[in-house]
Structure 1
């Protein structure tokens, strides 16, 4: 590993760039040029009447999905989109600067050509790429930008879910919506533990000011442990509430903005930023559930990282109580088994649900009905019992305090 030494000026410059990017995202400056929203609800000679999800008490929630990938992952993103699609939800797709303009355009065209996506108008594609390194603050900037865009598109969603092209659901959306229907809308599913693993080491993420994906630069500079706040770390995979995401973006008491500046030069900030904001905020620290509902295979040495899931993991994965799993390789046989036995997803189409139950024709949902009712299967009923138990346990003590 190469070691670089940086001047305070360069570090300060990267902080300024990150704050500028997030400020533009919140203000909506990027909205017209960076994403294509409101796809036409007219396909050929057929004109659709847009259906608005109901938000009455007892109705299922609405999820906002941020699905991201890089070069060569267009097909993986499309398959993932079809696996997690439901007309109630909102979706934002992004291929970073590692992908070509042609691949990005093809992703957009594929979405627009899908009849069901056009009918409900709830799938958006980021039209201009920006550079991202998942180990740096550019990944945090991309995530906050995605939340800002999704809030601009709609204020009706309840939870924000981030997925990469290597993630995949192991429950249907009817199952997931059913499981979350009776939960308080302020809950945040996030793993957090109090550690100081890498936050004192200074790094510089050049993707904040580069037009192409660039590796994060390490340094031998060390800063002291902060005493103004406690740092918490955990998994970067989370399900976060809309009130909390609004707090992170607007930061009315300045904590999220101050922490954003601190984490600009931290390695792997997605593993600590949201955890630290939550557990240092009196308003949100008691809204955490220390389970992020992901199954991740981690039986390789830590320095190697997780390897792709295989059939040997299938039974454990299905019985884990998780809603999502990772990492998957495109074309892996375990993905096919999930599609066939859990999601019941036809080849190259969306997962059937109550909204189009019984309307399948030649492997496609040819028409649809109401989108405010769901029909859970056994996995959904099991997941509802599991998350309800987690929510009840959360009331007994603060999840943040229990990790100190």
Structure 2
């Protein structure tokens, strides 16, 4: 019998065995990091999953636009964000997902892996997840900074989009992407959608002249605002406008906000850095004081909000609001809890959602199977069916085609009427805020 000797001649056997054990441990550790599921996502930087799309998007007259979505959430909202992403997904669009500092690295990793788990997202390469987040206080200037950062990232990743849409994990669509893309196909490309008001909608914002500091700009975790005792005089170089924090902006306007070829975007950014809820005033003020963009805003951000019904009602929408949602003509609604029953009704009656949560449209070559008619013997067979459906759809997808339903036709008619009457070119920026007159009792 042949005896195999250790190549440790002249060395202490204890030391030799220890060296071998350490080597095995290192090899095991390296192998663990090489598992595809773990190494496919980098949590320390922005991960762009597919630098090239498998299909080119046709642009120009008669073709649908390209929408760029920024979806922001916080701790425990990864599943809500995925449900929203599936509900608004279309291969033409771009999507940027961000969990703020309250979430953990593992949550962001889980979100990225959920994105990679769907063949559709991987095939078209149009969904990105920010792996390393930062502090965001939605009351302060760090909230405004996050919006500008998202726009800058989307411009850098792929600047062929036409409109920038901001959503939170508590928002949800009231129509399919085919409907929304159809309605926007026939619009002038310079229209910005944002709601203006001449009233303060936040009790905390008692005086626009009050100076505040947002420590979340320089701390790693979200921190409460610091309210200074002193106040400042209102500006005379520009008029302040304000309204809703939700918006649909053109790529040209967002490029202007980020690049600022004149000094106005930077001047306003410096001013609004020390104001409460600057995201509710900065873009409104910039639109109204810019010569290039002051006649491009429509006083409608296409978002249905509970507070538009009755500010005294509970925090979330429920089934009693369903008819109001349909009558609003809005493209989105808020706020929804994770398991609101009304979401199920919207999925079934409006979106015709599939069992895997995706809302397919005209770009699919195979009719989507409605969740109500989908039968399955087990969870594994359901997953296999979903994978087969996705592979079939990806083989013959026509991403330049949309087929609107009733809601899309209604929205197109509404927007066309606004453009025809040109209301947006004269009225919106007259609703300026006078800092000396907006104190809340």
Instruction: Give the shorter-chain TM-score range.
Output: 0.7 to 0.9
Q: Which consecutive segments of 4 or more residues in structure 1 shift more than 6 A? A: none
Contact 1:299-1:306 at 8 Å conserved across structures: no
User: Tell me, what secondary structure is at the counterpart of 1:236?
Assistant: strand
C-alpha distance in 1, partners of 2:83/2:168? 12
Which whole-Å deviations, capped at 9, do the CAs of 1:111-152 have from their partners, x for residues lacking one? Answer: 111100000000000010101011111011010000000000
Number of the residue aligned with 2:364 = 356
SS at match of 2:181: helix
1:19 — aligned with what? Answer: none
How far off its partner does 1:191 sit?
1.1
Mapping for residues 75-90 of structure 1, pairs under 5 Å: 75-90=79-94
Alpha-carbon distance between aligned partners in 1 of 2:104 and 2:182, rounded to the nearest angstrom: 38
What is the TM-score of this pair, normalised by structure 2? 0.79
In 2, Cα distance between equivalents of 1:221 and 1:352: 55
- Aligned match of 1:179 in 168, 183, 192? 183
**Is the alpha carbon distance of 1:316 and 1:301 closer, same or farther for their aligned partners in structure 2, counting shifts above 3 Å?**
closer
Q: 1:239 to 1:213 in 2, by over 3 A?
A: same
CA distance in structure 2 between the aligned counterparts of 1:371 and 1:185, rounded to whole angstroms:
20
Mapped pair 1:239 → 2:253: no
Q: 2:322 aligns with which of 314, 330, 334?
A: 314
Task: Answer whether contact 2:299 2:424 (CA < 8 A) is retained.
Answer: no
Structure 2 distance, partners of 1:238, 1:401, is: 16
Distance 2:235 2:134 in 1: 31
Corresponding position of 2:437? none
Aligned to 1:191: 195
Q: Which residue number in structure 2 is paired with residue 3 of structure 1? A: none
User: Could you tell me how far apart the structure 2 residues matched to 1:62 and 1:37 are?
Assistant: 18
The offset of 1:195, in angstroms, is 5.8
The separation in 1 between residues aligned to 2:44 and 2:250, in whole angstroms, is 27
- Distance in 2 (CA, whole Å) between partners of 1:359 and 1:315 is 27
Larger radius of gyration: 2
Shift of 1:231: 0.2
- 1:375 CA drift (Å): 0.6
Aligned to 1:136: 140
Count of equivalent residues = 366
**Which residue is equivalent to 2:39?**
none
SS of the counterpart of 1:56? Answer: coil
| CA distance, structure 2, for counterparts of residue 135 and residue 77 of structure 1 | 21
Residues 272-324 of structure 1, C-alpha deviations (whole Å, 9 max, x = no match) = 0000000001110100001110000116886x797111111110111101000
What CA RMSD, in Å, does the superposition of the two structures yield over aligned residues? 2.1
Shift of 1:401: 4.2
State which of 128, 132, 138 in structure 2 corresponds to 1:124: 128
Change (3 A) 1:78 1:341: same
The corresponding residue for 1:36 is 47
Alignment partner of 2:295: what SS?
helix
Q: Counterparts of 2:102 and 2:337 in 1: how far apart (Å)?
A: 18
Deviation at 1:190, TM superposition (A): 0.7
1:370 aligned onto 2:398 = yes
Counterparts of 1:251-400 in structure 2, within 5 Å, are 251-298=260-307, 307-360=315-368, 362=385, 364-366=389-391, 367-368=393-394, 369-394=397-422, 397-400=425-428
Q: 1:281 to 1:40 in 2, by over 3 A?
A: closer
- The CA deviation string for residues 18-59 of structure 1, in whole angstroms up to 9 with x for no partner, is xxxxxxxxxxxxxx9631113388xxxxxxx71111113110
Name the SS of the counterpart of 1:220 in structure 2: strand
Partner Cα distance (1:355, 1:202) in 2: 51
* Structure 2: stretches of 5+ with no match in the other structure: 1-42, 370-384, 433-441
